[in-house]
Amino acid sequence: MLGNEVREMNEEVKVFGELLKSLRRRAGMSLRDLARKAADDPANISRIERRLRPAPGEDVTERFAKALGLTPQSEEWVQFMDMAALSRRELPRDITEEELIGELPVFLRTLRGKRPAEEELLNLKDTIFKALKP
């Protein structure tokens, strides 16, 4: 998938279950097809897509990604794995707590509607991009 298409999908999709469903449909797969290829139960996949349960552990998430035809370490793969980790309320494994904690005050002020200085936003952007590079 091209970078622009990944960004467009990211704007449409806000949670892991929606991303999983979107990628499954794009691949022309039914729940049973994905379950068979990923060695999982279609009922579990349905629950994830409907946001009734979080993403499964990393090993199962990787099986989903492979079954969906995602290229390991591609931008799409990283986004898929990151959204799965966030669904489980975990940090993606390549982002350290120390990196995140250092930039968290800027992020929280932004969420609360208090505009941080431009330099703070640029530092946060740099930290995030460094952490997300494969």
Is the overall model pTM greater than 0.85, yes or no? no
Residue 74 neighbours by CB under 8 Å, 6+ apart: 1
Q: What's the confidence (pLDDT) of residue 107? A: 66
State whether the Cα torsion 73-81-66-6 is positive or negative.
negative
- pLDDT tens per residue, the chain (134 residues)? 434 444 454 445 578 999 999 999 999 999 999 999 999 999 999 999 999 999 999 999 999 999 999 999 899 999 999 999 989 888 777 776 666 666 667 666 666 676 667 777 777 777 776 666 55
Q: What's the confidence (pLDDT) of residue 96? A: 65
